[in-house]
Amino acid sequence: MAEDDTVVVRAGGAWGRATGPEVKHAYPLAVRDHGLATAVGLLMQSLPYALARFGILLAYSVACLVWIVIAFGGAAWLGKHIADAFGIVWLIACLAGVGWFWGAILRYMLHLLACGHVAVLTELITKGQVGNGSEPMLAYGKRVVTQRFGQVNALFALNGIVRGIIGAFHSTLDWLDQLIPIPGLDSLANLINIVLRAATRYLDKVILSYNLARADEDPWTGARQGMVYYAQNAVPILKTSVWIVVLERVLSVVLWLLLLIPAAGITVLLPHAVREQAGIVTMLVAVLLAGPLRSAFVKPLFLIMMMVRFHALIENQPINREWDARLASTSDKFRDLGNQAQAAMGSAGFGAGAFFRR
């Protein structure tokens, strides 16, 4: 199958190409190349967001280092001077506290920052500049997130739904083993799952970019259409995901190895109770240092690659009822998403079938 062919999905045991009415979306594209070099260039153009994310995560990593000292050092001290049970309770309390902080505060802060970054990247991909060309990037992203705060919050909740729907769609495909043509590989299924996760990890942000490019105020319709477009272009998108998986693993390992030396230096400065497990602590410190760098500078590269790939693939491409119906037959969540989209369009004055006319 040619790389730009629409994917052919099994329906009732048969295979066929999608045909039907199209949804028109008209926006320009200034960037169509989804290669790593282009992604690096776009990341450098939007560097304030990478630096802001790095600063937030670095502060969090420093806090985690302090937490390591307090959690494990405190547990060791309590277990030695009072009772082992007190040390265990202290460690569990520290673990629970950090888990709550990540889930309730930090993750949402990073989501808002990522949405601002997507807004800036969408402008660069579609227009070649941000806003009128003079507005600061952080200010532009903040303005878009503020104006679309409801949509941004909906996207935060939509992430898990999108992954569930696309996961159900993946289960209908029987050509996935062709993505990684390595003969005799027993663990091919695990590699395929990693590739599929890489494809869906960034899809919620890609859908936001699609909505922003169309100036669409309805997140539900954009999400539904974005997933249909993903299904239509699953072959080239998943091929891109293979390269994303390979590059991400290589860059992450290299980064972690480079950081082992400064991590060992930090470990020497920690209290004696912590240095007793120097090897484990050094590896953990390297992970904590590599995390902000990876999240701020490596992962956005792959988001950019996926965004550019998606926008270039759907350019002038029709969308139709058959693809929508196939996803609806695969996932209850997609049908519910369609009901939410229909209700949103109804409240905005759209009649039946508006999804396919927009």
Q: Is residue 323 part of a domain?
A: yes
Cβ contact 166:203 at 8 Å: yes
- The shares of helix, strand and coil residues in the chain, as percent rounded to the nearest 5, are 75, 0, 25
91-126 tens-digit pLDDT: 677 766 666 666 677 888 888 899 999 999 999 999
pLDDT tens-digit profile of 13-72? 232 333 444 545 678 899 999 888 999 999 999 999 999 999 988 888 777 777 777 777
Q: Which of the given ranges, 142-151, 237-246, 281-290, 295-304, has the highest pLDDT on average?
A: 295-304
What range defines the domain where residue 56 resides? 36-341
Question: How high is the pLDDT of residue 277?
Answer: 62
Domain count, the chain: 1
How far is residue 27's CA from residue 222's CA, in Å, rounded to a whole number? 14
User: Domain for residue 208, yes or no?
Assistant: yes
Q: How many degrees, rounded to 5, is the angle at CA 328 between CA 327 and CA 334?
A: 90
Q: Residue 8 falls within a domain, yes or no?
A: no
Whole-number Å distance between alpha carbons of 155 and 213: 16
% of the chain residues with pLDDT over 70: 71
Q: Is residue 353 part of a domain?
A: no
Tell me, rounded to whole angstroms, the distance of Cα 298 from its chain centroid. 12
In this predicted model, which residue has the larger pLDDT, 205 or 357?
205
| 135-141 own/partner pairs: CB under 8 Å, 24+ apart | 136/48, 137/46, 137/48, 137/49, 138/48, 138/49, 138/52, 140/116, 141/49, 141/115, 141/116, 141/117
Burial state string for 155-165 with b = 16 or more CB within 10 A and e = fewer than 16: beebbebbbeb
DSSP 8-state secondary structure symbol assigned to residue 176: G
Asked whether residue 246 is domain-assigned, the answer is: yes
> Tens digits of per-residue pLDDT, 126-155?
999 987 777 888 888 888 888 888 778 777
Is residue 18 in some structural domain? no
pLDDT at 184 (0 to 100): 53
In a domain, 43, yes or no: yes
pLDDT at 126: 93
Rounded to whole angstroms, what are the CA distances from 11 to 210, 323, 328, 332?
Answer: 27, 10, 12, 16
| In-domain check, residue 320 | yes
Cα gap 321→33, rounded to integer Å: 29
